[in-house]
């Protein structure tokens, strides 16, 4: 019985190690930093001004990026507009002031805030046409390699194997030697 308990403890330790990447979102990142992916960046008219609304996720794990310093840069010379956390995780929003209709250049910068999970510095720019009174989707990025899918698949496979081994281990019935009845 003691051997069985030792095996069960060992298998449980292996299973918890396999679940590690799921339990810690940053574990899947190279260098321990979140990789910014702009899931959505939209400009919406709001009276005489415009509002920027963006959703940022980690390109590796797909989890929302929280605690980031997000700036939208517009105009020449570029004027910085801080975007603040919105109503949902990973959402940032802010007023851009009055913008003229026509060709527009917007640069988005995302940096780590002190005390937050580290982020790979992100800067990207887009050129688009702004039409008065019409919202515009500036960017919608999707993950390219699915790096986090590998960690998730391995973690789930490890958990399934662990459960199967534990089930097999504890479902074995002891065979006891007893008298044989011969016919």
Kindly report whether the global pTM for this prediction surpasses the value 0.85: no
Q: φ and ψ at 170, to 5 degrees?
A: -90, -10
Whether the CA torsion 79, 80, 81, 86 is positive or negative: it is positive
Angle at CA of residue 106, ends 71 and 85, nearest 5°: 30
The pLDDT value recorded for residue 24 is 45
> What are the pLDDT digits (tens) for 155-177?
556 666 766 666 666 666 555 55
CATH number given to 33-139:
2.60.40
The pLDDT value recorded for residue 29 is 52
Grade residue 135 by pLDDT with cuts at 50, 70 and 90: very high
The pLDDT value recorded for residue 85 is 96
* Rg value, the chain, Cα: 26
Cis peptide before 77 (omega within 30 of 0): yes
Residue 25 has pLDDT above 60, yes or no: no
Give 74's contacts (C-beta < 8 A, 6+ positions apart).
81, 96, 99, 104, 105, 106, 107
> What are the pLDDT digits (tens) for 70-115?
999 998 788 999 999 999 999 999 999 999 999 999 999 999 999 9
């Amino acid at each position: 019985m003691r051997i069985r308990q030792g095996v069960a403890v060992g298998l449980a330790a292996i299973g918890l190690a396999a679940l590690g990447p799921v339990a810690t979102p940053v574990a899947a990142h190279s260098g321990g930093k979140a990789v910014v992916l702009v899931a959505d960046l939209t400009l919406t008219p709001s009276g005489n001004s415009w509002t920027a609304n963006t959703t940022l996720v980690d390109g590796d794990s797909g989890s929302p990026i929280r605690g980031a310093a997000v700036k939208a840069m517009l105009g020449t010379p570029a004027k910085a507009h801080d975007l603040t956390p919105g109503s949902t995780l990973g959402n940032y929003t802010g007023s851009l002031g009055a913008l003229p209709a026509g060709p527009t250049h917007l640069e988005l910068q995302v940096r780590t805030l002190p005390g937050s999970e580290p982020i790979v510095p992100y800067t990207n720019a887009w050129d688009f046409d702004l039409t008065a009174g019409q919202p515009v989707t500036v960017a919608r990025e999707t993950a390219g390699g699915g790096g986090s899918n590998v960690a998730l698949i391995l973690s789930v496979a490890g958990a399934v194997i662990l459960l199967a081994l534990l089930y097999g281990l504890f479902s074995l019935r002891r065979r006891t030697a007893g008298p044989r009845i011969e016919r």
